[in-house]
Amino acid sequence: MKTFRGFLLAGTQSGVGKTTISTGIMGALKKRGMSVKPFKVGPDYIDPQFHHYVTGNPSRNLDGYMLKEETIKTLFYKNLVDLDVAVVEGVMGLYDGRGTEKDQGSSAHIAKILNLPVILVIDGSGMSSSAAAMVLGYKMYDRGVNIQGVIINNVSGEKHYAILKEVIERDTATKCIGYLNKNRNIELKSRHLGLIPCGEVPELQKKADEVVAMVEETIDIEGLLSLVSSMEVAGIPIKTLDKKLVIAYPYDDAFNFYYQDNLDLLKELGCSLVPFSPLKDKNLPEKIHGLYIGGGFPEVFAGELEKNKEIRGRIYQKAQEGLPIYAECGGFMYLTKGIKTFEGDSYEMVGVFDAVAEMTKRLQRFGYCEVTPTEKSSFFKESFTIKAHEFHRAIVKGREENYVYHVRKIKGDKVIDRWCCGQEKYNCIGAFPHIHFYSHPSFVEGFIEKCESYKKTMD
């Protein structure tokens, strides 16, 4: 049996400072010589990048909608190897899940599945006794959620914190373990899809060091750990196949939206993964049997992607030769004929799909959905319905008869919206929905079978 400490850091709402405080605490724990394994509730790709940066360990997503409870437990526990502390950053507010269902996809849902104590982050600006009412409400709303401590963000100073601490501890019997002062310098900047990714943040190390220093100054790290009991967990053996397949995947500023567990599953199924950059590299890695293009921000780097004619031409050539390619969201956009940016400028892309991606001023799709391949799709070995997530401002204009997914948005037991999505050509498929491979492993097994067939043509 292995022993570790773990907790979930949740907020009262979005924008309360969860990511800043989470990364600061992770960094402070690492400075104390601890091995920290980070996790993120929900489908977000960007927050885990900051976790990885400060801990040196990949951060994994725990999604209560896309994944079954037993799968969540497996993905959590199998990664608790050689660690001291598991830190899970929540999503939105503590009880915010799919629609109004607090036990589907919320931070509270994950805390209960994994039996983790919760540290609640609140915004203390402009409050005194009302802070206690807020904390008490969160504690009473679901007594199955174990709120062990409170961190207060955006306080006016030590005296303000002392007032908040006194009333919260007196009236809610909940320990306050620290605070952060208002500080615009440590705020993480955002753009059209949320936070700017880790790799694009100027002077990131300086900012990370400043956040960790602030956390160490005003948050009681030892007090936090004292609230978190040690837990025992049996190790879960990982079985790895040896198919000797090589899958290339782009990883740079333009493409970096990958669930770590997706990459892990490909490795466990016998694939070697080779990263490359469509921004910088002139050719694909050699002797590959498949290509997995995740999402990102191709619209932000469209000019640079267009300039790299060599890699675009090589991808198009390999597609014509039958190389299996699976592309999501930004990767899908990259495989179209071109991207029209927010500014109205058009840039040539790979051109596999007879379509054009165009950025719009508003979100086109946002939230969870269910995806079923159309009858015309030959990419998958069997029919299925899989839970997925969409979050994009782009539209892709192309031939409707080429659509490969039927997509449904469901609220409660009712279908509230339906649409079609995606393109398929040669041995390539691209679409907007982001899919967690562990939500339906046969989804990726079908892709791997195509890669195996392609490999035989190379031997």
Give catalytic status of residue 369 as yes or no.
no
Strand partners, 175: 149
In this prediction, residue 236 carries a pLDDT of 65
C-alpha distances in Å from residue 203, one per residue of 207, 208, 210, 302, 458: 6, 9, 11, 24, 45
DSSP letter, residue 284:
P
Instruction: Give residue limits of the domains in the chain.
Output: 2-233, 245-458
Q: Does 245-458 match 2-233 at the fold level? A: yes
Beta-strand ranges (E) seen in 80-181 are 85-93, 118-123, 147-155, 175-181
- Averaged pLDDT, 279-297: 96
CATH superfamily of 2-233: P-loop containing nucleotide triphosphate hydrolases (3.40.50.300)
**pTM score over 0.85:** yes
In this prediction, residue 202 carries a pLDDT of 78
Joined tokens for residue 209? 């060091």
Q: How far apart are CA 31 and CA 242, in angstroms?
A: 38
- Active-site residue, from 198, 329, 369, 451: 329
Residues 310-335 have pLDDT tens digits of 999 999 999 999 999 999 999 999 99
Tell how many helices (H) and how many strands (E) occur in the chain. Answer: 13, 26
What does CATH list as the number for 245-458?
3.40.50.880
Is 142 within 8 Å of 108 (Cβ atoms)?
A: yes
Residues 26-51 have pLDDT tens digits of 999 999 999 999 999 999 999 999 99
Q: Beta 405-411 vs 325-328: how paired, if at all?
A: unpaired
